[in-house]
């Protein structure tokens, strides 16, 4: 559903569905992927606080995933937009 809303340009809805998907399957494979998508969709929507939250979750909960290892650079980018 998140991907569908993203394709329609409804980023707020996409972020919500990506976050729901990450919460419903908290494993090392799919949750990091959904959190990364949530962060990126939030950035497109210029909701940098939501993006920061998604990237922080990635960094804290899934540090060994590919997305978790890359989270710091995205987190820094989101934080820079908030200031």
* pTM, 2 dp: 0.94
- What pLDDT is stored for residue 30 in this prediction? 96
How do residues 27-78 score in pLDDT, each as one tens digit? 999 999 999 999 999 999 999 999 999 999 999 999 999 999 999 999 999 9
> Sign of dihedral through CA atoms 29, 76, 38, 51?
positive
- Sorted by sequence, the CB contacts under 8 Å of residue 76 that are 6+ apart come out as none
Both structure tokens of 31: 């949750």
**What DSSP element (H or E) covers 24?**
helix 11-24
Domains defined for the chain, CATH in brackets:
2-82 (1.25.40.10)
Confidence grade of residue 15 (pLDDT, cut at 50, 70, 90): very high
Closest by CA position to 36, among listed 11, 12, 19: 19
């Amino acid at each position: 559903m998140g991907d569908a809303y993203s394709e329609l340009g409804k980023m707020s809805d996409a972020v919500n569905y990506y976050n729901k998907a990450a919460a419903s399957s908290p494993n090392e494979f799919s949750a990091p992927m959904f959190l990364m998508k949530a962060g990126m969709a939030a950035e497109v929507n210029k909701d940098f606080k939501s993006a920061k939250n998604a990237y922080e979750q990635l960094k804290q909960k899934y540090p060994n995933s590919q997305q978790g290892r890359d989270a710091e650079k995205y987190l820094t980018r989101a934080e820079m937009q908030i200031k």
